[in-house]
A and B are shown apart, each in its own frame.
Chain A
Amino acid sequence: MLGFSKSDKARAEFEALVAPWLDALYAGALRLTRNERDAEDLVQDTVMRAYRFFDKFERGTNFRAWLFKILTNTFINGYRRQVKERSLGDESERQSVEAQFFSADTTAQTQNPEEYLLHRVMSEDVLAAIDALPIDFRLVVILADLQEFSYKEIADILDVPVGTVMSRLFRGRRQLEKVLRDRERGALQQPLVDLNAYRERKKLG
């Protein structure tokens, strides 16, 4: 039947479009959910949602940005709530981090000039530092530095003005670098946290 062959074609088109971005979606989902199980669920939910709304996708526009918009919306509307339920301290922790950050921000700019990060920093440290960011900063850092979206694309994905993207990215990176520099200093006294070993332990426990 005519209708059937048409939707087969749409499905094939969708599969061809989405397949190259599964790694990127998974990498982003891991940083958002901070665990593999939720990350896999989030990717699967995202792809299913994208498929359901595929007829609304304007052909020829930015498919990757469209996918990540669905990813972030799915996360914000569903998973974030779940994750919060699991760790009750999340909200207060976030507020205190933010408060500390905003107050430190004005003085740090003049007193503490930025420093070069050393090449001793490991991938695990960077990922753990991203994971520790408050969600608004984390979203922007993931989109900008892990996925290399432009400010304009990020603004479209998150539905916020470009100025907001810039200030969150600025603050997010600043906080990220501070964590990494602190870790560089602390690295002399204690071994770095092995994130994967930690996750394994958590999974078993």
Chain B
Amino acid sequence: MNCRDVEPLLMPYVDGELVDGERVQVEQHLTVCPPCARHADVARHNRTLVRTLAKQGSPAAPQALRDRVLNTVRATEQHRRQRQVLRLSAAAAGVALCAVVGHGQWRSFQRRLYAEDAVRRHARQFPLEVRIPQPEALEAWFDGKLGHRVAVPRFPNAVAEGARVLNVREKQAAYIRYDAPAGASVRPRQVGLFVFGDTGNDVDVGARGDADLRNSNGYNVVSWRDGDLVYQLVTDLDEDDIRSLLPPEPRPRRGELPSQVQPRPPLEVQPAAFRP
């Protein structure tokens, strides 16, 4: 072997990737060729240094991430069991559904994709970027982070835990997590609220001002539109508990006087399957 043959083999040699025959040939060449031996030595030195420093500088996974990841695995397992039960009832419901499907099928399909992805995102319990309970402070935090304003609704029976930016189906949304405290009929639960900016009517959530409730993977999703904002609320609360949570109190947007706010008509929250 000469230098030209050896050169392309130096990196795999240093990485310990050469099989016996080639390795021996390279080693023999290195004993008689100081320039190639120096090349190999530099490569080995730099490789070791880069590896050592890269590993030293890499932080361990935060404990909160570890806990969350393993908790989510456990939660998924519980959910999978619930889904098995749901699937059976869904099969029965499917027969009934076929009769009403037709017009608006595509829009309803799109709507379901958003609902399902929102559920998936909420269920994963991604870390919050900010933890503040006041809706005004959350709105200020979102200011400039998304291409749209974010109006954070206040719910009578839930307190905001915090918020972050989260994508739903390629669309960036504001995500606010609320804690619904334990009440008479309500177990302590979490509620996730996605806020999309939607001037182009891309996110189809049903008619304007209409709330649409659907069941996805054991979660309930309530969607409604408020002007150019689309809200999607994900929770494992059941229907009655959602009723106690909704409707959100209308409140002034930032920069608007309270007297200018038109109270929205009360939301009709109905499970999609129960619609006449």
Binding site for B on A (CB under 8 A): 4, 7-8, 11, 14-15, 18-19, 22-23, 25-27, 30-31, 37, 40-41, 43-45, 47-48, 51-52, 81-82, 113-117, 119, 121-127, 130, 144-146, 148, 150-151, 166, 169-170, 173, 176-177, 180
Main secondary structure of the interface of B (DSSP, over half): helix
Contacts of B60 in A (CB 8 A): 23, 26
Among listed B46-54, B90-98, B188-196, B261-269, interface-contacting one: B46-54
**CB under 8 Å from chain A, chain B span 77-94:** 77, 80-81
| Cα distance, A145 to B54, chains bound together (Å) | 8
12 A–B contacts from the bound complex (CB under 8 Å) = A4-B81, A19-B66, A23-B58, A26-B59, A27-B59, A40-B62, A40-B127, A43-B61, A48-B76, A114-B46, A145-B54, A173-B47
Extra 18 A-B pairs, beta carbons < 8 Å, given A117-B46, A126-B50, A127-B57: A7-B80, A15-B73, A27-B59, A40-B62, A40-B126, A44-B72, A47-B72, A47-B73, A48-B124, A116-B46, A117-B49, A123-B56, A124-B57, A146-B51, A151-B12, A151-B17, A169-B11, A173-B47
Contact residues on B (Cβ < 8 Å of other chain), bracket: 35 or more
Contacts of B12 in A (CB 8 A): 151, 166
**CB under 8 Å from chain A, chain B span 149-177:** 164, 167, 170
| Cα distance, A145 to B50, chains bound together (Å) | 7
| Cα distance, A130 to B53, chains bound together (Å) | 11
| Cα distance, A145 to B47, chains bound together (Å) | 8
Interface string of B221-259 (1 = CB under 8 A from A): 000000000000000000000000000000000000000
B68 at the interface (CB under 8 A from A): yes
| Cα distance, A52 to B79, chains bound together (Å) | 12
Contacts of A82 in B (CB 8 A): 167
Set B49, B61, B167: member contacting A26, Cβ < 8 A: B61
B208 at the interface (CB under 8 A from A): no
Q: Considering residues B11, B46, B77, which has the most beta carbons from chain A within 10 angstroms of its beta carbon?
A: B46
Residues A30 and B65 in contact, CB atoms below 8 Å apart: no
Among listed B23-31, B37-45, B103-111, interface-contacting one: B37-45
A-B contact count (CB 8 A): 123
Of all chain A residues, the one with the shortest Cβ separation from B57 is A123
Q: Considering residues B39, B42, B43, B50, which has the most beta carbons from chain A within 10 angstroms of its beta carbon?
A: B50
| Cα distance, A151 to B19, chains bound together (Å) | 13
Distance of B230 from chain A, by nearest CB (Å): 20
| Cα distance, A126 to B58, chains bound together (Å) | 10
Set A8, A125, A150: member contacting B17, Cβ < 8 A: A150
Contacts of A173 in B (CB 8 A): 11, 46-47, 50
Contacts of A47 in B (CB 8 A): 69, 72-73
Residues A146 and B54 in contact, CB atoms below 8 Å apart: yes
Residues B11 and A127 in contact, CB atoms below 8 Å apart: no
| Cα distance, A150 to B16, chains bound together (Å) | 9
